[in-house]
Structure 1
Amino acid sequence: MSRIASNTFWLMLAQIGGLFIPLIELPVLARALGQQSYGQVLYALGIALTASVFVEFGFNFSAARSLVKIKDQPQQIAQLVTNVLTAKLFLSLVVSVAVALLMFSGVGATAIPSHWLLWISLFILAFGFTPLWYYVGIERLIFPALLDLALRSTGLLLTVILVAAPQHAQRVLTIQATVGIINTLVPTLLMIRKTGLAPVSFFGAKQVLQESWELFLYKGAQSIMGSIASTLLGLLGGARAVGAFVPAEKLVRAASGLAAPVLNAAFPHLVKVQSDSRHAAKKIVGLTLLALAAMTLIFALLTVWLAPWVVNIVFGPGYQDAIELLRILVWIVPLRICSMALAILWFIPIGKERVASRVMMVNIMIICLLAFLLVPSLGGLGMTIAFLSAEITMFVLLMTFFYK
């Protein structure tokens, strides 16, 4: 339990970099870029984040789980590292072609400059090649957490200094892509130095892809949730709709992300517990759900009350539409956190990631379907309804399978 507490602390520190620093950036960018340029940046980042999911391919769970099982076998660890990197190289080539075609085809209601492709590509590589799975698997998270926080803080400082007008939109992408590449490259080189590399095996790469397929569907869909709003709104509603909805959604995502460090740190422990006693593991998960539900419901009520103050403080004038959107979106937090807990602490440790992945795919399909139906006429409110409907469906389905 002390190892879990330690890993939770370091993952929480990294989460500060991943969630709260972007929240600090929000008022800076919203005021400096304006709704139109800010919407373009969010759309470009949405494309990059969505694409990076297909490079990461769920290895943060599948490879970490495999690493837990071969912790004391150096040769197998080296082969696992090599297989994962080989698979990601192949995936990145396919994804790069797809993104280039999307950008140069001119599809969608939001236009972004073609020369942004370089920074979008670097952003994809930075997030897709993250070696976090290795550090989670060996339960040594101090260095990547501190590096992440330091680099993101540096990126925030550069953003405050260098971004002051709508024509500085590209600088945002340049800063974030550069920070992301360094944040991935340094831990990756240290990982390779520690484990070494085995001979490249295309069969081994294919094998890890097959093993990660269900987790890719789950984790990929979960990650796409973070960028799908800006992507769909950019395609269907234009840059202004993105600028109105995404800031409120970012607050909800940040609140939901607070649970991720605890759940990810507990993941290796639950893998071990369920192998000894599935009943004990289920009891732990049940108690965790009760605690999370109580805390998040209180948070949602407070947010509904404080929504006008939060929006005005964080975003400034011109974002009044975000107040009502935030008051609805915040009810996603209890649903999403409890669904995450069920997947990470129960279905994935017991090897039933297929359940979690299929339910998550249903979630994405509901969002896409309702977005196409509602966004053209309702804008951000249509996307809000789509998100809330999908989260309710996912939570109900996961609870049904958990108690079945």
Structure 2
Amino acid sequence: MRLQFKNVSLLLVAQLVSYLIPILEIPILAKALGVDQYGQVLIIQTTALLCSLIVEYGFSLSGARQVAVCGPENKSLLSAIYNGVNSAKLLLSSGMIVVSMGVLSILDFDLDLQLILWGYLYFLAFSFSNIWLFQGLEKLTFVVIFELVLRFAGLLVLYLLLNVSANASFALMIMSSFSLFNTLVGLYLAYKIVGGFNIDFKSGVEQIKSGFHGFIYKSSNNIMLSAGPALVGVMCGQASVAKFVPAEKIIKASVGLVGPVLIGLYPYLSRRLLKTTSINLKLSSLIVAFLFAAGVAGATIIYALGDFLINLMLGPGFDEAKSILQVFVMIIPFRMMNQAIGLTIFMPLEKDKILSMCLMFFSLLSLCLAALFSLWYDLAGIVYGLVLAEVLFSISLILLAYKIK
């Protein structure tokens, strides 16, 4: 398990850096570019990242699982998997480019052509990242460290050069160039492993079909994590959003730390579970129990520090935000457990369809319960509904996992 521990540690560091870099970019870009140009960069950047998530399509789960089961020894199968996934990404990215060009032609964003072109390169760099391949092979050390070094180098270059030429296109050129260089190095490393590239659209379509439920799982998970503020704004008004979002960010940051642990263990469990299910389900159960206990401990700490955290983020005068956080923390152990059950039992055993349908149902249920409870309890009702849906989701996954076992 030493290799798995190293991979978990690397992914945890990468996750923390992914939180840190965007925060550090804000003052650099905002001060150098001003409101209008900074807004242009944000439009391009967020749109490119959103489109790249669609192109990624859950291959970090379905593709990595195939690679983990295949192993590095079977070169022909590994090459077929890799080329199939990249062919699928080529199809999806082509579709996103066509759609985005149509949207740009209809809506007037007042963006110059150079800025748009750099935005497309930024999109392609993230879309064709090969991290899923190295994740499946459990060879993450170089690619993760190299990416971290590049991200900090890009931030430094951004800081130094924007003082010389404060221009939105120039800023996006720097950001996309470093991302593109990272992807090109990943492609070179992949070439050394798989031995050659080719486009196979038939295989790409098959990968899209087989990865559909993994995509639905990730998409529904994002809805479950991100729909809260919009619902609060609709049901309780804009003032309530300011009280809800700080608590939500604390919860998301806490739960987000479990992701690298599960992703680091995922290839190992995928390989082992499909071979000796009964033995390794005991390991999965231990991981689920441990993460639930860790969630309880984390929720207790955040509950105790609630006043301090809200005062630190918002200052005095936000007493309702403190009470919201103290209720919201109850969701932490259940959400961590749900993610653990999904990524240590259902996904490794190729029960993607069951998991994705279940998550989609409870994502919608959480929104319905939150909206319903808000009619009686206002902002607190939103939180009650979200927590209750998460608990019901936990119960359902445990019962389904027991049947699998």
> TM-score normalized by structure 1?
0.77
- Give the aligned partner of residue 330 of structure 2: 331
CA distance in 2, matches of 1:356, 1:252: 23
Amino acid at match of 1:74: K
Gaps of 5+ in 1: none
Aligned pairs (5 A) from 1:258-277 = 258-277=257-276
Change (3 A) 1:244 1:38: farther
Aligned pairs (5 A) from 1:1-16 = 1-16=1-16
Aligned pairs (5 A) from 1:213-252 = 213-225=212-224, 228=227, 246-252=245-251
Aligned pairs (5 A) from 1:43-192 = 48-71=48-71, 72-99=73-100, 121-122=120-121, 124-154=123-153, 180-192=179-191
- How many residues align? The count is 398
Shift of 1:293: 1.5
Change (3 A) 1:315 1:233: same
Change (3 A) 1:243 1:23: farther
Deviations 1:152-200 (A, max 9, x none): 4345557878999xx9999997776555444434323321343233432
Deviations 1:82-111 (A, max 9, x none): 2211111111222334455567766xxxx9
CA distance in 2, matches of 1:146, 1:192: 19
Change (3 A) 1:160 1:198: closer
Shift of 1:302: 1.6
Say whether residues 1:199 and 2:198 are aligned partners: yes
The 8 Å contact of residues 27 and 316 in structure 1, kept in 2 or not, is answered as no
Change (3 A) 1:345 1:321: same
Moved more, 148-157 or 299-308: 148-157
Change (3 A) 1:345 1:158: same
Amino acid at match of 2:3: R
- Give the aligned partner of residue 298 of structure 1: 297
The 8 Å contact of residues 26 and 314 in structure 1, kept in 2 or not, is answered as no
- Give the aligned partner of residue 345 of structure 1: 344
Amino acid at match of 2:334: L
Deviations 1:281-326 (A, max 9, x none): 2221222222212221121122123234224445678988754554
CA distance in 2, matches of 1:185, 1:324: 48
Deviations 1:371-404 (A, max 9, x none): 8889999998776566435433332221121123
Question: Which SS does the other structure have where 2:198 is aligned?
Answer: coil
- Give the aligned partner of residue 279 of structure 1: 278
Gaps of 5+ in 2: none
Shift of 1:275: 3.1
Question: Which SS does the other structure have where 2:8 is aligned?
Answer: helix
CA distance in 2, matches of 1:67, 1:126: 22
The 8 Å contact of residues 64 and 133 in structure 2, kept in 1 or not, is answered as yes
CA distance in 2, matches of 1:2, 1:199: 35
- Give the aligned partner of residue 355 of structure 2: 356
Question: Which SS does the other structure have where 1:87 is aligned?
Answer: helix
Question: Which SS does the other structure have where 2:199 is aligned?
Answer: coil
Give aligned-pair identity as a percent. 30
Shift of 1:347: 0.8
Amino acid at match of 2:66: S
- Give the aligned partner of residue 210 of structure 1: 209
Say whether residues 1:17 and 2:17 are aligned partners: yes
Change (3 A) 1:350 1:319: same
Question: Which SS does the other structure have where 1:288 is aligned?
Answer: helix
Aligned-pair Cα RMSD in Å: 4.7
CA distance in 2, matches of 1:163, 1:318: 38
Moved more, 39-48 or 91-100: 39-48
Shift of 1:226: 5.2
Question: Which SS does the other structure have where 2:220 is aligned?
Answer: helix
The 8 Å contact of residues 82 and 198 in structure 1, kept in 2 or not, is answered as yes
CA distance in 1, matches of 2:301, 2:196: 51
The 8 Å contact of residues 46 and 227 in structure 1, kept in 2 or not, is answered as no
The 8 Å contact of residues 371 and 382 in structure 2, kept in 1 or not, is answered as no
> TM-score normalized by structure 2?
0.77
The 8 Å contact of residues 83 and 197 in structure 2, kept in 1 or not, is answered as yes
Where relative contact order (Cα < 8 A, 6+ residues apart) is larger, the structure is 1
Deviations 1:12-71 (A, max 9, x none): 22222223555677899999999xx99999887665554333211111111112112332
Change (3 A) 1:280 1:244: same
CA distance in 2, matches of 1:231, 1:215: 25
Change (3 A) 1:309 1:60: same
Shift of 1:246: 4.8
The 8 Å contact of residues 310 and 322 in structure 2, kept in 1 or not, is answered as yes
Deviations 1:99-137 (A, max 9, x none): 55567766xxxx976568667655543443221110011
Change (3 A) 1:124 1:333: farther
Q: Computing the radius of gyration over CA atoms, which structure comes out larger, 1 or 2?
A: 2
Change (3 A) 1:283 1:189: same
CA distance in 1, matches of 2:320, 2:44: 22
